[in-house]
Amino acid sequence: MTLVIFLIVLAIGLVLFALRRLRGGWCFSLVALAWLFFAGCGPLTSLLLDRLQAGYPADVMQWGRRNAIILLGAGTVRGNAGAVEPSLYANGRILRAAQLYHACRASGGDCKLEVSGGDAMRLRQSEADVYARSLDQLGIPRADLMLEGRSMNTFQNAQFSRPLLAGYGADKVVLVSSAVHLRRASLYFAHFGIRAEAVRGDYVRARYAWLPTSENLSFADFAIHEYIGVARYHFYNAMGWNVPRVPEESVTAQTHA
């Protein structure tokens, strides 16, 4: 996305040069170069990331009586041995969810860990099933896992998690994802009446450099994707394209019925 924006703005500048609109051509060309430089060298990427990730802790201060920890999927890959495995971006989330589960059990409360994610990578295994194997190796009993393997995006993560939470009767919901993803994820879960405490599974920072780096450009892409997702959500709401918002009171009534 970062490189696409750079190329689009640069192309506009080159077209303006071709049309002999030199002032406009220089303006767009300089903006394109500044965009690439400040994103690739760190300052712009750092600003984008910090605004998204601020305020999300790595732990839960107080547990409830019946606790549901929701682990959001981050993709799967087929390894060189042919087995389907969690992607690189999923491992931090999985480890954090396991740590939280064990902390929850130590508090004396009832604890369930929901894994939410379908087969978005088209590998014939849902993220929920793949992650469940990793969680099993981290000491999470299968009886305490709730698998939601239908969702293909974050909005559906929230939509399909709601009936599971209602069936369990959770009085505390903890949402685990990457820090860069939590603002959008929390917004979507709130749309379905789910008030969740957001906990980060990983946190990324831009690395300042004299020349643009692919790492910074990748992080900028992650951030831009999240900002677009938040904007799209509000636009779809304004257009009436999202399913109706669920009042939080109705979920509370179901979970405590």
Q: Is the pLDDT of residue 153 over 70?
A: yes
Q: Same domain for 92 and 117?
A: yes
What pLDDT is stored for residue 249 in this prediction?
59
Q: How far is CA 101 from CA 63, 110, 205, in A?
A: 10, 10, 27
SS3 state at 110: strand
Of 70-74, 143-147, 187-191, 247-251, the one with minimum mean pLDDT is: 247-251
Do 161 and 191 fall into the same domain? yes
CATH label of the domain that carries residue 172: 3.40.50.620
pLDDT classification of 81: cutoffs 50, 70, 90: confident
Nearest residue to 201 via CA among 69, 82, 85 = 69
Q: How far apart are CA 187 and CA 95, in angstroms?
A: 23
Give the domain range for residue 2. 1-40
Distance CA 38, CA 220 (A): 10
Averaged pLDDT, 198-203: 97
How does residue 155 score in pLDDT terms, banded at 50, 70 and 90? very high
| Percent of the chain with pLDDT strictly greater than 70 | 96
Task: Name residues whose C-beta falls within 8 Å of residue 170's C-beta, 6 or more positions apart in sequence.
Answer: 64, 66, 67, 68, 112, 255
Residues 17 and 62 in one domain: no
25 and 108 in a common domain: no
Q: Does 128 lie in the same domain as 193?
A: yes
For residue 244, tell me if it sits in a domain. Answer: yes
Kindly tell me if the per-residue pLDDT of 199 is higher than 90: yes
Residue 69 and residue 105 in one domain:
yes
Domain count, the chain: 2
Alpha helices in the chain, H assignment, sequence order = 2-18, 22-40, 43-53, 91-107, 127-137, 154-168, 179-191, 214-239, 248-255
Task: Give the closest residue to 188 by CA, choosing from 151, 157, 147.
Answer: 157
The predicted-structure confidence for 94-111, as pLDDT tens digits, reads as follows: 999 999 999 999 999 999
Which residues lie closer than 8 Å to 75 by C-beta, 6 or more apart? 86, 87, 89, 90, 120, 121, 127
Residue indicated by tokens 């087969």:
119
Shared domain check, 75 and 168: yes
23 and 93 co-located in one domain: no
pLDDT of residue 127 exceeding 90: yes
Instruction: Give a yes or no: residue 51 inside a domain.
Output: no
User: Largest alpha-carbon pair distance within the chain?
Assistant: 73
pLDDT for the residue numbered 220: 96
Q: What is the tens place of the pLDDT at every residue in 17-47? A: 899 889 999 999 999 999 999 999 999 999 9
Q: What percent of the chain has pLDDT over 90?
A: 88
Same-domain pairing of 176 and 248: yes
